[in-house]
């Protein structure tokens, strides 16, 4: 028995030594993401920096480079620069799919493992790993809640940007409310901006004397919508549904605010999930390739505290 234990101990020491050597292996991961131009992307930057600190502490040989870009052209330039730094993997949330597909293809051609977050590329074969929220369900969950809450009434919609994500969310919402008593009065783009959404909502309020509810694809836009309603002193609007999980909105849900009864999750923390999966694949050589789609959870007063992070910027 003593020999067996000694043998097992020796194996454990060998395994631990091997693990330590693997952890010390020098690897570089580049993270290319949009700059914090609104709340959700601010959350992405915060979560990426937080994940960088945690992952580098866990893996002594790991170096993570986080680069932010203000637009597609600057992100393409950043990607070209990053490839000169000998990176082993790229985790990227593209400014837009079409413009960044070829620059990311060039990164991939250098033998780099590519993880794409949120905005799928025009050519999905470039992606080794894809991590995103469930965009169709962001719309579907909001639509089903609105249908169950109102059953009939006038609804206005504020879309995001004219890209695939927006189309998927809008299709999910349209499918959910089809055949119901809800009448969608109009849909306009708010560009995922609270200022633009404020202006769109002002336009709606001037056009339509009776609006029962508002669906907008983003919590930033919901802030603008609520301000427009407040300034117009309109009492006909029963509630607004946004999405993503902004802490201000989650707090309002938790507090029982009737104007924000629910929220639909599309968390910026998905960038951290993508980084973690990529690093696991590099160090542990686990099969992380494929698609990872996060749930579009309906946040209600009953579960809101679970999703409230007061220290987050979003």
Does some domain include residue 206?
A: yes
pLDDT of residue 16: 42
173 assigned to some structural domain: yes
Is residue 6 one of the residues assigned to a domain?
no
Whether 179 is covered by a domain: the verdict is yes
**Predicted local confidence at residue 38, as pLDDT:** 75
Is 278 part of any domain?
yes
Of 97 and 108, which is predicted with more confidence?
108
β pairing state of 298-299 and 263-264: antiparallel
Kindly report the CATH number assigned to the domain that includes residue 74: 3.40.50.2300
For residues 258 and 280, state if they share a domain: no
264, 286, 303 — which closes off a domain? 264
Is residue 241 located within the same domain as residue 283?
no
pLDDT, averaged across the chain: 90
Locate 245 and state its tokens: 């999980």
Distance CA 67, CA 88 (A): 15
Kindly state whether residues 249 and 286 are assigned to the same domain: no
Residues 70 and 94 in one domain: yes
Domain containing residue 233: 135-264
Residue 267: its pLDDT value, please?
87
Residue 216 lies in a domain: yes
% of the chain beyond a pLDDT of 70: 92
Within this chain, do residues 214 and 258 fall inside the same structural domain, yes or no? yes
- In this structure, the answer to whether residues 103 and 181 fall within a common structural domain is no
**Which residue from 18, 44, 20 is spatially nearest to 32, judged by alpha carbons?**
44
In this model, does residue 292 exceed pLDDT 70? yes
| φ and ψ of 300, to 5 deg | -120, 175
184 and 256 within one domain: yes
CA angle, 186 then 145 then 260, to 5°: 80
What is residue 97's predicted lDDT score, i.e. its pLDDT? 85
Whether residues 62 and 178 fall in one domain: no
**Residue 150 and residue 104 share a domain:** no
Q: Is residue 5 part of a domain?
A: no
Convert the pLDDT of each residue in 199-238 to its tens digit: 999 999 999 999 999 999 999 999 999 999 999 999 999 9
DSSP summary character for residue 60: T
Specify whether 127 is located in the same domain as 142.
no
* Burial of 236 per CB tally in 10 Å (0-12, 13-18, 19+): middle
pLDDT at residue number 22:
56
Same domain, 145 and 221: yes
What percentage of the chain carries pLDDT values higher than 90? Answer: 78
Is a pLDDT exceeding 90 seen at residue 7? no
Number of domains in the chain: 2
> pTM of the full predicted structure?
0.78
Same domain, 254 and 276: no
Q: Report the first-to-last Cα separation within the chain, whole angstroms.
A: 57
Distances (CA, A) of 121 to 38, 131, 209: 22, 12, 42
pLDDT tier for residue 14 given thresholds of 50, 70 and 90 = very low
Q: Is 56 inside a domain boundary? A: yes
């Amino acid at each position: 028995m003593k020999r067996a234990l000694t043998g097992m101990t020796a194996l454990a020491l060998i395994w631990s030594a091997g693990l330590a050597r693997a952890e010390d292996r020098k690897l570089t991961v580049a993270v290319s993401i949009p700059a914090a131009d609104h709340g959700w992307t601010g959350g992405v930057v915060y979560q990426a920096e937080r994940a960088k600190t945690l992952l580098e502490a866990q893996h002594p040989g790991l170096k993570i480079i986080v680069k932010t870009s203000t637009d597609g052209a600057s992100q393409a330039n950043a990607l070209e620069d990053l490839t000169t730094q000998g990176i082993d993997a790229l985790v990227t949330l593209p400014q837009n799919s079409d413009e960044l597909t070829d620059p990311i293809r060039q990164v991939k051609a250098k033998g780099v493992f590519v993880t794409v977050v949120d905005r799928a590329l025009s050519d999905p074969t470039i992606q080794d790993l894809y991590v995103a929220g469930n965009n169709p369900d962001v719309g579907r969950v909001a639509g089903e809640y609105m249908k169950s809450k109102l059953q009939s009434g006038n609804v206005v919609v504020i879309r995001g940007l004219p890209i695939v994500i927006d189309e998927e969310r809008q299709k999910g919402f349209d499918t959910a409310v089809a055949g119901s008593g809800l009448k969608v009065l109009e849909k306009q783009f708010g560009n995922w901006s609270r200022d633009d959404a404020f202006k769109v909502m002002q336009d709606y309020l001037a056009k339509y004397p009776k609006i029962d509810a508002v669906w907008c694809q983003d919590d930033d836009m919901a802030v603008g919508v609520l301000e427009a309603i407040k300034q117009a002193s309109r009492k006909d609007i029963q509630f607004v549904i946004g999405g993503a999980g902004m802490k201000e909105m989650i707090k309002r849900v938790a507090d029982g605010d009737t104007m924000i009864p629910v929220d639909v999750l599309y968390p910026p923390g998905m960038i951290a999930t993508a980084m973690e999966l990529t690093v696991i694949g590099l160090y542990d050589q686990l099969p992380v390739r494929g698609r990872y789609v996060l749930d579009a959870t309906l946040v209600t007063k009953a579960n809101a505290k679970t999703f409230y992070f007061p220290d987050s910027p979003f």
